[in-house]
Structure formats: structure tokens, C-alpha cells
Chains A and B, each alone.
Chain A
């Protein structure tokens, strides 16, 4: 146990000494009385040296993929090649405005066009829009397309069906578009065809599925699922969060899906940025092409343009054209790996996952038999002495690992969802499995007391929710109140 995270008592920015704030006079002819801000905003200005030291100290108290193994299930925390960052930072890439005429942005449009084409191949779809800014935003866009499609065909369908293993964003996205949600229970960790067959009706707008599902299990009856949904007149929606498992092996198009979103920040190695920016392109089959958000990048002769002429377009979902900075990184990644490299990435992701699962199931329950794809879910339900999966997660931190996803999916009791990704070595997986086994066997009091080696000890989320201290001002008020 050699891991120690930096433990700085780093003050809040408001507590750092800064140059005395000058009161800056506003020239009297600039604004009328009613529009003027009387006081300078209370924002501390640090000198560059102190600013850099402050944020460097903070960064040292933050764990990223570059710090170590980050097997956060469903999030595909693979290593992100540095070339991607350098390309996106080029002036010719970053200092481009969406209001420039297309003659000045041919490079940008070419990359967007080619990325659309690449993603269409990878997903087996007819056309792709890059506009959605994140995976959930892609789901939302897909649901808008679903609604527009049914409306166009005079169909009044108000229900979206999904399995109980689905990501939380699925029902949330469908609900935002106005759909009622019908959740069907899984059978042996897979879609229950009978339950699906009895759930579909002339009210079914779409069935949302991720395949492999959130247990990491491939849904082998994908064809039958698609048939049931299509026969009822619904569309098949593919949540691409787990696309990293199947590149070059199968595709959502081949599996009978009509609409797909991808998470470029998962499968295509663009960094997660502490929560974003991501990018959630949406692909659709030919029949739905006319509903995509406008504009899409298009090619004419040797030139590229933005095509707004999409007959049944749902319109726009973003202020501009989506997260261009992220497109570039994904494009760079796909170009680097190519068809062979992407296929190998999925193969290694699946190999790593099955290997790690074989190690872990020696000392933890891994419910549901059979192969896994890119991730698997273990269960801490047989732990004793009031030890919970969360305690294992916290103790893993002390060993230098970012914890896996815990308590999702909901259908596994005390779940721990582990996604190693293809970029990790066998040595890392072996080390992690050893650490997890040690942790499982540690005394309850040690586990309850974890973590010890992170920058702070166990954090009280209950206290945060109770006190709601959401700014420095709140903090001062709270201290004033509590110290009286």
C-alpha cells in the first residue's frame, strides 16, 4: 500500500492574499445610472504565481486516468493519447468562429464531414449529426427524432420502453421529450422477450437499449428484440455508451437499431474533463436521415458546406454546431487507430474485462453466468459486519485506484461495475485484483474508516445536503451562525 494522494490544506481562493482590490471608476459617460454596477464584483484577483500554485495544488488533489487505473464502469475511462490535445489546441483549430463564411472554414467542415462518415461506418447508420454536446444530449436528440418521425406518419405514440438495466439518462431524456416511461424487468440479466412482447403496443414510440447492456452482457436476441419493436411500429434506439465493446465485430445498424448516439468521450478517447465537455453524435438509418438536426456538414465537388436543407429536420439542439473541440480529438483518434486499431481496441477491452472478471469472481460474487463484453458487475451483497460495497470503493482509493462505479445497475444488489478498458496492461489488472481481494478480506473497522491516504477522509454527503453551503458567501454565513 504505497499510494498517497497529495494532502494540501489549500485555502479557498477567497482566503488567499491578493492584491488590494482597486475600486475602478466607471467613466461617467459610459452608462446611465440605472444600468451601472455600483460595486466592483467581489472576486479575488490573484497574481499569476499564486494563481498557478493554487490550481496546481488543487490538481494534485485530483485523480485522472493519467494518475492511474480508473475502472469506472459505463464511463470508458481509457487513456487519451496526447496528440489529440495538441491538435485541438492548434490556432487553426481553436480560433475559428461559427460566423465565418464557409470559404474560411473548409478545414473544419472537411473534418466534420469525414467524422460523420467514419461514425456512420462504425455504427452502421446512414447519416450522422455531430450537434449534440454529450451522450444524454444525443439521447434527447434521438427522442426528438423519434417524436418527429411518428408525428410525420400521423401516429400518436406516447410510450418509450426500456429495460431496468438502462442508464438513468435514458428515461430522463425520453421524459424530457414528453414520453411516458415503461420499464420492463430483465430476465437473467437480459431483455425478457416475453415482457417486451407484452409491453409493446400501438403506443410504443421506441425501445431504448444499450448492447452490451450495463451488466456487460451482450443481448444475443437482438434480432428478435428488433422484430418485436418494429412489428409494433416502434423505433429501436441504441445507447452508444457501451460501443467500446463491439467496434468491428457488429454494429447497431446490423443489430436492427434505427437511431444511435455515441459518446466521443468514451469510445473515441477524448478526455472526460472532470465531467465534460463530451460530445454525443447521433446516427440514424437512411429512412430517418431527413429528421436530423440541421445543419450537417456536406460535400460538393472538392468543397464542403453546411447543409441546412433537411426536409423534416427537428431543428437545432445546440447554439452552434456542437463541441467542435471534441470532434477534432475523436477524429485524430480514429485516424490514428484505423479500422484495424479500433477492432483491436474492442477486442482488448473485452479480453481485459473477461480476464479481470475471472480474477475477481474468485473472491466476489459476479452474478449471471456467461461471457462479458467490456465490463462486468460484481456484488458486495455477501459482505458481512455491515461492510458495504461503498466501503470497498473507498478502501480501493488507499491502494491508488479510482473506485469502480458503485450501486449501478440497480438490478444487482450492492453492485460494483468494473470497466478496465483496452488501454490497461495485464500487470495493472493483476494489481487491481490483488488489491480488491485484500480489501474484501480486511476487517470491517478498517473498511469503514477508509480512505486514509486520499487528500481527505470519508466525506459527509449528508452534511452537504443538510447545510447547503454552495458558495463562499454561504460558508461565511454558516460559520457566523455556527460560531455564535
Chain B
């Protein structure tokens, strides 16, 4: 390849003849080339290539799907995509220099403000990778608040994958997990069991509402009481908070939620958005970026990152977390979505999906041999149903009929159960098709 004029001029300026001279500090013995990689392609060929490969995928648009388990296919308004597509946001980085990054900083501050209202918590950070890693960071933070305790209590219906992430996050400082029972009939916390497991060595407890079975926890006040001063970490569904009591209302210390549902595509489970909220008095123990409102030298309102002394680029091994790159753009999408919907829009959305999930459960329950929902506790957009045949067989049969009915559950005794979710995209026709093909295969 011929050298372009820039290269020639720069080489001449450096008084060298080849760019290879700039790599003379790499010993010959350490040299290697990119053997096995193809050569470059034109943009047109790249597009064709990618489109051909992606054509092997079947998108959720092509097949009624009732898949949830932490990632949900809600409708993303065009305005949200448009705003998040602004390249000034996309191609910037962490706003280390606030004067030139006010737009992003203000958007992130607005996200903090709106999310604080939604969760009922005083402080929201900006941001963590996803819900699951958010739980890991929450337990680490809880342990910093309860230095002498070493056990953290988690519900026994947490899927293995989430427990694995939690253990990876928390083994370092020696935190151990103990499971408390979720009641087999209500699907809610077994209070007696939880109570029996709390002692001096308890850091705190994770309460998910809705939990992995989709069941909303209706005993949060009792749990807060049982816990005394221990740390209450609440895992909440962001959409549900339009109509469900916010965790700040019942004394949560830390709230973790998944922001993907607000204005972001499912994207095969990433990028997501780990939402983290806490009480203001605990903020110095919190991980992640935080945006503060301040002023410039002319007393004009301005924004900047604040409390950076908790962070790795300053505190190194003593930082509250190693997190640096986060999910800022997903946060902008979430902020945009919330403002697009407004409080009443979010409330209407929550009512709608709750009614849709009820309708689906009712319809499934009418099919002979099926039980929906399995648990008696209230549920939001997701529930467990029990079928007369093995769940993986059922999934296979329903896939062949053109629907994705739900997610299999790994817990023992739930071999015939599926976790079934709806969103605002779930249409009456989708529900009709579910029930129709269910009748056909059973």
C-alpha cells in the first residue's frame, strides 16, 4: 500500500524512512503478525456479510415470545432512539472535563433525579453494568456498612447464574451467602425462616420484588422490622414501580433495578443498565459515578462528577469499586424514556402490563391440566405456570408451533414449570396464539 502524504511528511519530520523504525524497541523475538485474520473488506461487503449471518437469527418480532427472567422486550419510542443516536452523546467519554460535557452531565443528573423519584430513594448512581452485577456491588456496599458481619441472606429461588455472580463479587472480602426460604405456596418470603437466620453476623438481606418467580413481596414492612438495623437490599422491577410501592417507602437501604426496560432493546442481554439507589447518609460507601449540581465561576448553574475520591482513578485499591466504564448511554436512553412517559405514562404502562399478564395467566389456567399462576402471591408482568408435561418438552413443541412460551426453571421440583413474561408489546393475538397452540400440543 502506498504511503499517503501525511505519513510521508510525518516520517520526514521525524527523520526516518519507515514507520517500522518506530517499532524498533520491540525485540525481534517478540514480533508476531495477525496470522489467520482475513484482509479488510469494503463497507458494502461488510454489511452484506453481517446481514447474511444475522439472517440466521429469529428476532422476537418474528415470533410471539414470552421470555423474561431479567430482560424484557418493551416498546422503544422512536424519539428515544433518535435522541440516543445523537453522536455527541455516543462518541463522548466519561465527563472528566465538565465544562465541555455539560449536556451529558445534565442528562445524567436528570436521570438521577427521576430515578430517585421512582425508587423513593435519596441518591442514585450513574451506573452499573446490569441488575446482577448491581446485586454484587450492593452486597459489597452493605458489607462496608456492617463491617463486623460476614453473612448475607438471599432468597432460595435466586437462579444459579445470579448466585455465581454474587459469589464472584463477594468472595474477595470473605462474605458468605445463606439462603432463606421462599414459601412454596405464596411464592413470597417465608418470614419465620428469614427471622431464624438473622443474627449478629448478618450483614443484611436481599428481597426481590417481584422475585425470580414474578411474585411481588407483600410483607416488606414486616421484613424491615425483623431486620432491625441490618441492611435491606431491595431488587425491584423498574416498570412495576409505576404502581407498586417504592422501596424508599418501606426503608430500603439500597435498591437495585434493571434499566434496560426503559427505552432499550433486549440486545441479547447486553448492554443493560444496573440501577443503584441508596440513602444519602451512605453515599460515601457507594460505588460508581455520581453527578452533582454546582456552579461555574460566573455563578451559572453547572454539573460535574462528584465524590470521585471514592473511585478507582483516585483511590486505587482502596476505592469502593473498580468500575470505570459503565452504561452511561443506556442511562441517557432510560432518562429520555422516563421523560417521554412521565409519571402518569409509567403508571399506565404498569397497569397495562399487569392486566395483560393476568389475562394470559387466566387463559392458560383454562387449558386442561395447566395451573397459572403457580403461586398465590401477587405478580406483576411475569408468573410461573405449571403444565402437565415436562417444561423443556413443552418449550420444544411450542417453538415448533412458532412461539417462545417462557423460560425453564432450574429449581428442583419445577420440571413442569415455566416462567412466563409479558410486556407492552404482548398483543391479544399473541395471547390467543399461546393458548391455541398450547391446546394443540397438550
Contact = CB atoms under 8 A, between A and B. Distances in A.
B339 A105 contact: no
A413 B13 CA distance: 28
B93 A175 contact: no
Given A136-B324, A319-B130, A394-B99, A90 B54 contact: yes
Contacts of A111: 50, 53-54
B91 A41 contact: no
Nearest to A342: B34
B242 A41 contact: yes
A7 B272 CA distance: 32
Interface string A87-122: 101111111111111011111101100000110011
A43 B346 contact: yes
A470 to B, nearest CB: 5
A315 interface: yes
A44 B73 contact: no
B205 interface: no
A389 interface: no
Contact of B300 (A319, A371, A456): A456
Given A64-B88, A133-B270, A459 B67 contact: no
Contacts of B129: 133-134, 137, 318
Interface in A1-34: 5, 10, 12-14, 18-19, 21-24, 26-27, 30-32, 34
B293 A51 contact: no
Interface string A147-172: 00000000000000000000111011
A275 interface: yes
Contacts, number: 652
Interface in B313-356: 313-319, 321-330, 332, 335-336, 338-348, 351, 354-355
B10 A352 contact: yes
B271 A276 contact: yes
A66 B87 contact: yes
A319 B294 contact: no
B404 A100 contact: yes
B389 interface: no
A342 B61 CA distance: 36
Contact of B71 (A18, A97, A136, A469): A97
Contacts of B412: none
A343 B60 contact: no
A459 B164 contact: no
Contacts of B130: 133, 318-320
Interface string A42-72: 1111101001101111111111111100101
Interface string A273-308: 111111010000000000000000000000000000
Given A37-B244, A59-B86, A63-B92, A30 B354 contact: yes
B25 A371 contact: yes
A376 B267 CA distance: 37
B70 A454 contact: no
A332 to B, nearest CB: 6
Contacts of B47: 83, 86-87
Interface stretch (B105-113, B196-204, B224-232, B366-374): B105-113
Contact of A64 (B73, B91, B315, B332): B91
B216 A35 contact: yes
A321 B89 contact: no
A36 interface: yes
A170 to B, nearest CB: 8
A457 B298 contact: yes
Contacts of A181: 316-317
B181 interface: no
Given A51-B340, A315-B165, A60 B67 contact: no
B404 A464 contact: no
A19 B340 CA distance: 11
A139 B322 contact: yes
Contacts of B267: 93-94, 96, 323-325
B293 A475 contact: yes
A312 B17 CA distance: 50
Contacts of A201: none
Contacts of A228: none
A95 B34 contact: no
A198 interface: no
A421 interface: no
Given A23-B344, A43-B117, A274-B92, A98 B268 contact: yes
- In the A-B complex, the 6 residue pairs with the smallest Cβ-Cβ separation, listed nearest first, are A45-B342, A320-B269, A273-B329, A319-B132, A64-B91, A275-B328
Given A332-B46, A354-B22, 17 more contacts: A57-B103, A85-B90, A91-B59, A95-B266, A97-B60, A99-B71, A104-B58, A218-B26, A277-B326, A277-B330, A319-B130, A350-B23, A408-B313, A451-B99, A456-B302, A460-B295, A467-B293
13 contacts: A13-B113, A43-B117, A70-B93, A94-B265, A103-B399, A168-B324, A249-B32, A271-B329, A272-B325, A274-B101, A318-B165, A336-B46, A339-B38
